[in-house]
Structure 1
């Protein structure tokens, strides 16, 4: 089990509830009140509940930097601005997810440095590569290396869940637009350089390790001020257990959109949903002094 430090919280919910599933489909974790924690997750459900193997969308390559970056003399957004990216039940309904598990204002912001090192240590402990330490993150950060020591604030906005389908939103406020842009470019390179990870985590099928495959997603349509980097994680036993992750950047703010599914939510569904969030991010008001 992954255990990470607990940042301040406004109401007595444990922060790692936001983690829910980071790798998905690797192991069952039994925890009172919250059934999944850290980077391990569910695998013990019937194959008959999942969709057939689904080929990836064949489309243009991602553009990890915005066409018209938003520049500000001071940081464009505080971390609290990310709360405006919260979604309603109607907006999340196209994913066939109905229940808000954790809502806006449940948790106070944390910092990358208060969360990432613990996740990174466990990631390396199960055989994960430092280059691929974006995989276990449940917010926009790299869990191993210089980025894990950042004081940038991060915020868990919402988690929606129905059965085995989960959607969560998290955000990070960088000091500058340039720092956020560099994070996106670095993440884009890491995704390309991490096609798979063979982790020392037993599978439900009795194997001693779990093969995790990481695939860049085809580009989505975003406004000129928004950059987007997306990737898919498939865990043992295959594409019936997937997570889709998109990081969206505007100015110094990066929003992470994560959808975890046993196969019933399709890649195209996630792409269309993320495009809607990218449109909202593009209209987020920039404070004026």
Structure 2
């Protein structure tokens, strides 16, 4: 947000420079003032060219859309926080960059037993997410489904390629989802996450059962297990969550949640 204001100010200065420069009798003091401001802007732009990763946490909080983007709710006339037309939809290049960054997530035992499916079709996104919590999807969004292995009981699995370790399975899928979220924010997008979308079935997070039915999105796919250098069918993957990604509509008042985010942590020393 601050960067956009900065660019707007820069444009205003450049326009003022052009106007004053076109006046033969422009006051010297005014020209000097604009020249000084333009010099400062040039310095800012030069500094911006240098990428400094140490500034990312500060940028993330001050510039990024890290709060959950609100769903549209007709009951209270809230339009929702995402841009709804195709202009807000993540580009294919950016979508691939997000998915790749999520693929860099560290996992339990080095197992890459998770899978992501990016659904770009607006109608299909609506089928997945539904409107129980308001309308989240549109032509301006992409919905990423996150799946995890090690989440099905042995009597439910169709093979023995993996073991039933729900703690590690959810741990891995959670880390991948976190990386995906940070990647989306870093590219200028916002997100809304769903654990209970409109997919058929019962979640079954704690009983090792099939859970919500999202099998059709996995048909014909395989995942690569980095720890064993083998590929396996995704038929034993279990749906964990859906992440709706889009661009925040800055014209909407209260487009993101306003809940409190406390610092619930300490630095412990013996």
Q: TM-score range by the shorter chain?
A: under 0.3
- Which has the larger share of helix? 2
Could you tell me the TM-score, scaled by structure 2's length? Answer: 0.26
Could you tell me the TM-score, scaled by structure 1's length? Answer: 0.25
Computing the radius of gyration over CA atoms, which structure comes out larger, 1 or 2? Answer: 2
- Which has the larger share of strand? 1
